[in-house]
Amino acid sequence: MRINVFIPHRWNNDDYSEISALLDRTKYAVRDYSVPASSPFDSIDKRFNVDPQIQKQIKYASVVVCSNRPANNFGMSIEEIKFAINIGKPVVAVKITDSTSRYIDELGIPVISKRKDSLELWINQNV
């Protein structure tokens, strides 16, 4: 089964690579719609909470997989997560740190362990 994934992230931590590696170990053929470091968007339109280029990437995704990191409380990551929820995308947080973002809790996003079987089960239930 093929799934399209968007991973909200910051480049100043390893969350993207940890989540991407976890997805690679699943039984799914994953198409990653996240913004890669090797090909960032040239410009971000500050008039929007989430740039239209990134909105388009999120719309293509079947699921959004983020980390539970408290750093998600501020900046683009949380805005991308809120946008995904607002357009009806299933969102899950992978437990990367011991503490979970208060917004992840407030938004009711399930937090799963950083295990292949946990992610596969969540995807099966939500795609």
How does pLDDT run across 56-97, given as a tens digit for each residue?
Answer: 999 999 999 999 987 665 667 888 899 999 999 999 999 999
Model-level pTM greater than 0.75? yes
CA distance 57 to 124: 22
Q: Which domain holds residue 34?
A: 2-126
Total number of domains constituting the chain = 1
CA-wise closest residue to 114 among 46, 66, 43, 53: 66
- Can you tell me the mean pLDDT for 38-55? 65
CA-wise closest residue to 53 among 38, 33, 78: 33
CA distance 97 to 46: 30
Which domain CATH number covers 55?
A: 3.40.50.300
CA distance 70 to 74: 8
